[in-house]
Amino acid sequence: MTIVVPSLESPRPTPAPARRSRRQGLDLPGILIPLIACLYVGVVILLPALSVVVSAFAKGVGPFLENFRSPELLSALRLTLFATAVAVPCNVIFGLAAATAIARREFRGKALLLSVIDLPFSISPVVVGLMLVLLYSPTQGLLGRVVESLGWRIIFSWPGIVLATIIVTFPFMAREVIPLLEEEGWEQEEAARTLGATSWEVFWKVTLPSVRWAALYGLILTTARALGEFGAVAVVSGNIEGQTQTLPLFVEDAYKNYQTELAFGAAMVLGGVAIVSLLLKILVEQVLEQDRKASRNPLDG
Amino acid sequence: MTPALLRRWRPPALSLPSWPWRLTWTYLGLILFLPLGAMLLKAARVGPVGFWEMATTPEALATYRVSFGLALVASLINGVFGLVVAWALVRSSFPGQRLLDALIDLPFALPTAVAGLALTAVYSTNGWLGQPLNEAFGFKVAFAAPGVTVAMVFISLPFVVRTVEPVLRSLEKEQEEASWCLGATPLQTTVRVVLPQLMPAILGGVAQGYSRAVGEYGSVVMISSNVPFRDLITPTLIIQKLEEYDFEAATVIGSVMLIFSLFSLLVINLLQVWGQRYQGDAA
């Protein structure tokens, strides 16, 4: 009896798991919620991620490194790096241009334009690839004849892969920089201009430094996504081994052909990049948070 | 909110160099509008009758059922557990919390092909979780519909957590304290005071996750057996149609997905507006 009473009583005064309750009593939700959360994330995310690491190094580091002798893997890696190296700078330039153009203007349809920029986030990557095929395919494309008469090859070749990567990743940069520019005033830019700076000088010396961390954050997201893009690239690449196969496509192909070790080796490379980008992201997030606090204080004062 | 107010007081637009503006539109035109236009034009050429017929073949309808149905299951699961995870991140402190926080972003960072490979390895009948599930219950996850659901759960989890988390963080404790002072149990406080305020964020996260799960290809194609009428998803059907050189059918089904994307974008925006209004009232 004496045990029953406190155990019935104790949950009541515990005012929601909300406050980090200083109460020593039985705080059931306080234990259960983190437990369920960890179990769920463990089963859904951590376990699969660990399985890649374990499978990749199942036979030790030597056999893992042996994978990198595979010419198909290397050529896939090269193509992925190339596509990323082209797509990311293009999107950085676009993202910064779009941010400076959009963030500090008020116009009708601004919200709509922002939604349009977000569109690649909600369109299926496969549909993005399909759109490119319907535009550039020599037989079916809207511009197929033009492309063919110029002697270009876009679909089933690297330009298609680069284009697909660009479309899928272009919103990240603008998305990260626009809110920051909106938040900060343009007093500094105005001051710079009244002091006689040209537009370029204002951009390089005032605007860009003020958004550098947000831009870096956008850059990390863009790069991570560009390296890993699958659906859109799968449609336009033709998946020709050693020629138009990117690393993510190689992972799938190798796994389907029962080259499990190669598949996990390549997956480990991509996973490693993902983890590095995640760590960088966390770092930049912290700097960004401090930056925001610092930039807010003078406004408050 | 304050940024909106501040914006109104600002002087009219500084004469910014017009090149960013021009560059933005040129880039958007070439990269987004041109391919979009090509597809819409192609779809328009099919004609309304043909469009309807090709969009509603039994094969296509079966894939819609798989894609939209399982994505709904996945995003509802995440609606519940995403809330729990967000709650654990904001309202508790326990060892490993930072790791949990970092893990949530992994589905964003991990290439979908790697995610697909990882999930297939874990949930196949000789995998860490697939084997016990199969031996104990005869339940097959990978290469069947449950596997597709698992992949969709994986990729859409961060959306719910990352949408709910900031709202939960910004909630005012006073309301909960008031509720408690008036004699409400913790459960009553949670259900009647906290949850209604979180609802726009939860629904917004679920909608974003749903939209992403419907369009997901890379991870699902690896864990699915891709058998028509069983676990073949719509994006895979589009690719199959392209491989069969049936460009019209691919265009039509792609347009259906595009229309869905536009619609979901609208819903997500409306949910965001609703959420902001809610927070505005609360503040």
What integer pLDDT is reported at residue B277 of this predicted model? Answer: 75
What span, in angstroms and rounded, lies between the C-alpha atoms of A6 and A188? 62
Report if residue A46 sits inside a domain. no
What integer pLDDT is reported at residue B15 of this predicted model? Answer: 53
Amino acid at A96: L
Contact A122 B186 (CB under 8 A): no
Report if residue A24 sits inside a domain. no
**Higher local confidence (pLDDT), B15 or A108:** A108
Per residue in B69-119, pLDDT (tens digit) is 999 999 999 999 999 999 999 988 888 898 999 999 999 899 999 999 999
- Whole-angstrom CA distances from B119 to A48, A119, A135, B27, B222 are 5, 28, 34, 37, 9
Nearest to A135 among B16, B38, B221 (CB): B38
Exposure on the CB side of residue A256, measured as CA atoms within 13 A? 15
Contact A186 B10 (CB under 8 A): yes
CATH code, A231: 1.10.3720.10
pLDDT at A5 over 50: no
Contacts of A8 (CB under 8 A, 6+ apart): none
Q: How many CB pairs under 8 A join A and B?
A: 305
What integer pLDDT is reported at residue B215 of this predicted model? Answer: 93
Q: Are A99 and A211 in contact (CB under 8 A)?
A: yes
Where do the H-state alpha helices sit in B31-184? 34-46, 48-55, 58-91, 97-104, 106-109, 112-123, 130-137, 145-170, 173-181
What span, in angstroms and rounded, lies between the C-alpha atoms of A280 and A267? 20
Q: Which CATH superfamily is B52-282 part of? A: MetI-like (1.10.3720.10)
Contacts of A74 (CB under 8 A, 6+ apart): A68
Query: Of the candidates B203, B237, B96, which has an alpha carbon nearest to the alpha carbon of residue A235?
Result: B237
Q: How many domains does chain A have?
A: 1
Give this complex's ipTM: 0.87
pLDDT at A6 over 70: no
What span, in angstroms and rounded, lies between the C-alpha atoms of B150 and B143? 11
Report if residue A21 sits inside a domain. no
What span, in angstroms and rounded, lies between the C-alpha atoms of A68 and A250? 13
B273: confidence class by pLDDT, cuts 50, 70, 90: confident
Tokens of B79: 């609606």
Contacts of A193 (CB under 8 A, 6+ apart): A202, B14
Report if residue A274 sits inside a domain. yes
A107-140: b or e for each residue (b if 16 or more CB lie within 10 Å)? eeeeeebbbbbbbbbbbbbbbbbbbbbbbbbbeb
DSSP letter assigned to residue B93: -
Report if residue A27 sits inside a domain. no
Q: Are A114 and A108 in contact (CB under 8 A)?
A: no
Q: Are A244 and A237 in contact (CB under 8 A)?
A: yes
Kindly write down the DSSP assignment for every residue of B164-193, as one continuous string. HHHHHHHS-HHHHHHHHHTT--HHHHIIII
What integer pLDDT is reported at residue B74 of this predicted model? Answer: 96
Query: Of the candidates B253, B245, B168, which has an alpha carbon nearest to the alpha carbon of residue B205?
Result: B168
Report if residue A2 sits inside a domain. no
Phi, psi of B138 (to 5 degrees): 65, 30
CA of residue A173 relative to chain centroid, distance: 10
Per residue in B189-212, pLDDT (tens digit) is 888 888 998 999 999 999 999 999
pLDDT at B59 over 50: yes
Mutating which of A80, A130, A227, A283 best tests the B interface, going by the most B Cβ atoms within 10 A? A130
Per residue in A241-259, pLDDT (tens digit) is 888 899 999 999 999 999 9
Query: Of the candidates A110, A184, A186, which has an alpha carbon nearest to the alpha carbon of residue B15?
Result: A186
Amino acid at A102: I
Residue located via tokens 């902001």: B276
What span, in angstroms and rounded, lies between the C-alpha atoms of A119 and B268? 12
Contacts of A300 (CB under 8 A, 6+ apart): none
Mutating which of A41, A53, A143, A253 best tests the B interface, going by the most B Cβ atoms within 10 A? A41
Query: Of the candidates B170, B208, B187, which has an alpha carbon nearest to the alpha carbon of residue B82?
Result: B208
CA–CA–CA angle B257, B262, B265 (5° rounding): 120
Contact A37 B89 (CB under 8 A): yes
Give A2→chain B minimum CA distance, Å: 22
pTM higher than 0.90 for the full model?
Answer: no
Contact A49 B39 (CB under 8 A): no
Percent of chain B surpassing pLDDT 70: 92
Report if residue A1 sits inside a domain. no
pLDDT at B177 over 90: no
Domain boundaries, chain B: 52-282
Phi, psi of B132 (to 5 degrees): -60, -40
Where do the H-state alpha helices sit in B182-233? 186-189, 195-215, 218-223
Q: Are B81 and B104 in contact (CB under 8 A)?
A: no
- Whole-angstrom CA distances from B36 to B58, B113, B236 are 27, 26, 20
Report if residue A248 sits inside a domain. yes
pLDDT at B50 over 60: yes
Contact A15 B242 (CB under 8 A): no
- Whole-angstrom CA distances from A194 to A184, A190, A278, B44, B262 are 18, 6, 41, 53, 44
Contact B14 A190 (CB under 8 A): yes
Contacts of A210 (CB under 8 A, 6+ apart): A180, A181, A184, A188, A295
Query: Of the candidates B163, B199, B172, which has an alpha carbon nearest to the alpha carbon of residue B274?
Result: B199
- Whole-angstrom CA distances from B156 to B3, B72, B105, B193, B206 are 30, 11, 10, 27, 8
What integer pLDDT is reported at residue A3 of this predicted model? Answer: 42
Q: Are A124 and B257 in contact (CB under 8 A)?
A: yes
Tokens of B112: 């979908």
Mutating which of B77, B92, B97, B101 best tests the A interface, going by the most A Cβ atoms within 10 A? B92
Contact B88 A36 (CB under 8 A): yes
Q: Are B201 and B167 in contact (CB under 8 A)?
A: yes
Q: Which domain holds residue A105?
A: 62-300
What span, in angstroms and rounded, lies between the C-alpha atoms of B33 and B39? 10
Q: Are B226 and B58 in contact (CB under 8 A)?
A: no
Per residue in A192-235, pLDDT (tens digit) is 889 988 888 888 888 888 888 889 999 999 999 999 999 999 99
Tokens of B113: 């092909």
pLDDT at A301 over 70: no
Kindly write down the DSSP assignment for every residue of A7-42, as one continuous string. HHHTTTTS-TTTS-----S--HHHHHHHHHHHHHHI
Tokens of B226: 């891709």
